[in-house]
């Protein structure tokens, strides 16, 4: 039988959880539920975390978008979809997407294009496979095809 947490113990766990890495409100609520915290106590804990700055939806969106772009090489489309799945406010999603530097974005697309083109070189339908890979990475189809059509 599992011992239930007191409100203070749950708060301490969630403070550590949020301090370790940026978390969106949905993740925090899910964690509270997984710890078995009653709904009324969970809402109190959530408010305390928000008031103390452990949860900030805008900060999360900005960090998520920047990280996924720089580290995972995701395009704007994929980042937007992932943020929607995390129930982030649409205005904050657009703000996070707009924070991605346009030159860095096009440079990354060009770099990934060159890498994929080399990977598929000599294969049947190399052009289509290259374009499909870039679109799956979350880059806008019209942008992908403009890069692909210039090279082929």
Least confident of 4-8, 47-51, 97-101, 113-117: 4-8
pLDDT digits (tens, 9 = 90+) for 69-90: 999 999 999 999 999 999 999 9
| Residue boundaries of the structural domains of the chain | 7-51, 57-98, 102-151
Whether the CB-CB separation of 49 and 15 falls below 8 Å is answered with yes
Quick check: pTM over 0.85? yes
Q: In angstroms, what is the C-alpha Rg of the chain?
A: 20
Q: In whole angstroms, give the CA distance from residue 119 to residue 123.
A: 9
Q: Which of 11, 16, 1 is nearest to 41 (CA)?
A: 11
pLDDT band at 2; cut points 50, 70, 90: low
Residue 1 has what pLDDT?
45
């Amino acid at each position: 039988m599992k011992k239930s947490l007191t409100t203070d113990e749950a708060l301490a766990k969630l403070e550590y959880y949020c301090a370790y890495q940026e978390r969106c409100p949905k993740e925090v609520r899910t964690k509270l539920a997984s710890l078995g915290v009653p709904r009324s106590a969970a809402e109190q804990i959530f408010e305390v975390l928000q008031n103390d700055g452990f949860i900030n939806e805008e900060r999360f969106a900005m960090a998520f978008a920047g990280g996924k772009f720089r580290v995972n090489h995701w395009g704007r489309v994929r980042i937007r979809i992932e943020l929607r799945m995390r129930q982030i406010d649409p205005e904050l999603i657009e703000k996070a997407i707009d924070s991605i530097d346009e030159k860095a974005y096009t440079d990354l697309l060009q770099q990934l294009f060159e890498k994929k083109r080399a990977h598929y070189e000599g294969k049947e339908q190399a052009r289509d496979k290259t374009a499909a890979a870039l679109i799956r990475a979350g880059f806008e189809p019209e942008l992908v095809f403009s890069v692909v059509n210039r090279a082929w």
